[in-house]
Amino acid sequence: MPAPKETKASLRCLLRKRRKVANAVDARKASLALRDMLLTHVTLPPRALVSAYVACGSEINPRPLLQELEARGHPLCLPCLPEDDSPLMFRAYALGDPLLMGPHNIPVPFSGAALVQPDVFLVPLVGFDRAGHRLGQGGGFYDRALYHARSLRTIKAIGLAYSVQEEPSLPLEPHDMGLDVIVTENDFLESFSS
């Protein structure tokens, strides 16, 4: 039986290929469907601060959703990846703000943007299963960020993905943090047992 680390690595490979195909079909249509799915099924506390992401590679693009969340009065922020293993930081962001290219080729706000603590995390996924487990890029950044945030306050972690990124069951390690909600262009999943 391969160790979870090796299984995760081969699953990432497979799931990224599936994600790429889905993203090539009609990314715009999927983004709009994702927005509608989330807004129909998820109620966010008024003015909850939402951690967003800028879609990289073939990640499902949350931009139409972010536009609507901003219009409804939700302030946004973006994660800033560290160079090392230190925790993610989050900086205030409004759509249209200029961004810098940060570590791992991920755009981040300028260092003058306020450091904030999100109430809601929109988490880009490499993979997910119906038990609310996630597979990320392999840096464990969201595992650490969600662990830290949950130890301090009540937050909501919402995984965003194409529906083809679903696996029957993902390998888990003790540090893996589950999601509260998963939204795809076709599905809305919640009420996970743990």
Ligand X SMILES: Nc1ncnc2c1ncn2[C@@H]1O[C@H](COP(=O)(O)OP(=O)(O)O)[C@@H](O)[C@H]1O
The contact set with ligand X (CB under 6 A) reads 8, 135-140, 143-144, 147, 173, 175-176
Q: Which residue, 97 or 173, is less far from ligand X as judged by CB?
A: 173
Residue 126 Cβ vs Mg ion, minimum distance, rounded to whole Å: 10
Residue 162 in contact with residue 60, Cβ under 8 Å? yes
Q: Which residue, 32 or 144, is less far from ligand X as judged by CB?
A: 144
Q: Which residue, 40 or 169, is less far from ligand X as judged by CB?
A: 169
Measured CA to CA, the distance from residue 10 to residue 127 in angstroms comes to 12
Measured CA to CA, the distance from residue 147 to residue 133 in angstroms comes to 14
Q: Which does 19 bind (CB under 5 to 8 A by kind): Mg ion, ligand X, none?
A: none
Q: Which residue, 39 or 55, is less far from ligand X as judged by CB?
A: 55
Q: Which stretch binds Mg ion (CB under 5 A): 37-45, 50-58, 141-149, 185-193?
A: 141-149
Residue 108 Cβ vs ligand X, minimum distance, rounded to whole Å: 18
Q: What is the dihedral of CA 61, 16, 165, 40, to 10 degrees?
A: 0
**Residue 143 within binding range of Mg ion, rule CB under 5 A:** yes
Measured CA to CA, the distance from residue 157 to residue 182 in angstroms comes to 8
Could you tell me if residue 105 is left (phi over 0), alpha (psi between -120 and 50 degrees) or otherwise beta?
Answer: left
Residue 125 in contact with residue 160, Cβ under 8 Å? yes
Q: Which residue, 74 or 180, is less far from ligand X as judged by CB?
A: 180
Residue 135 identity (one-letter amino acid): L
For residue 162, what is the enclosing H or E element? none
Q: Which does 192 bind (CB under 5 to 8 A by kind): ligand X, Mg ion, none?
A: none
**Sign of torsion over alpha carbons 43, 48, 53, 54:** positive
Q: Which does 139 bind (CB under 5 to 8 A by kind): Mg ion, ligand X, none?
A: ligand X
Per-residue binder mask for Mg ion (CB under 5 A), 147-186, x = binder: -----------------------------x----------
Residue 157 in contact with residue 148, Cβ under 8 Å? no
Residue 126 Cβ vs ligand X, minimum distance, rounded to whole Å: 7
Nearest to 89 by CA among 148, 33, 131, 138: 148
Applying CB under 5 A, the residues found at the interface with Mg ion are 143, 176
